[in-house]
Amino acid sequence: MYYCGVCKSISRNFGQLPRFGLVNETSVLSLILNIAAGKIGTPEILRKNCIAHPQKKSDAVIRNEAVDYAAGVNVLMMYFKLLDSWHDDKNLAAKAGSTAIRRAFRKAAAKYPISADAVYFSIRELTKLEKEGCSSIDAACEPFASMMADLFMWKDSDVFCSEP
């Protein structure tokens, strides 16, 4: 339900092309945020046609702030992942993909600037560690873990804040 909801939200808010980069992590993000920030209300669920499987309908959480946020995060992560692939491997498909979704990225970054910064700085730190040849698995995981912590500090940061 949340996976389909994030896909539909990407389509509605950022266009069709970024839907190709949908990842499971953002559907989990939307689910957890929706449950934890119960102030949002009961999600609206509708049966919708699926772009990947046009012959069947799937349940999708629609018009939900957590799902819309996760859709924006998905676009941000996809854009920076494509740029990283371009810089690391000179992958032309990644360069073309990042160029193709640049407008969607700009829209997501304008709507969620703190999240855009979190993803950017995480990717930048990971790139630095790669260049240094970091051999510590803990050090290599830290930027991504930090980014995920920042992304979970969404609307009601007190929901996830561990400090009193």
> 159 pLDDT band (50/70/90 cuts)?
very low
Amino acid at 125: E
With tokens 């896909």, the residue in question is 7
pTM for the full predicted model? 0.88
Contacting residues for 63 by C-beta, under 8 A, at least 6 apart: 44
Q: Domain locations in the chain?
A: 2-155
Q: Is a pLDDT exceeding 90 seen at residue 43?
A: no
pLDDT on residue 157: 46
CA-to-CA distance for 144 and 141, rounded, in angstroms? Answer: 6
The pLDDT-based confidence of 18 (bands split at 50, 70, 90) is very high
Helices within 48-112 (DSSP H only): 65-89, 92-100, 102-111
pLDDT tens-digit readout, 91-101 = 999 999 999 99
Average pLDDT over residues 138-151: 91
**pLDDT digit string, tens, across residues 66-106:** 899 999 999 999 999 999 899 889 999 999 999 999 999 99
* CA 92/CA 104 separation, integer angstroms: 19
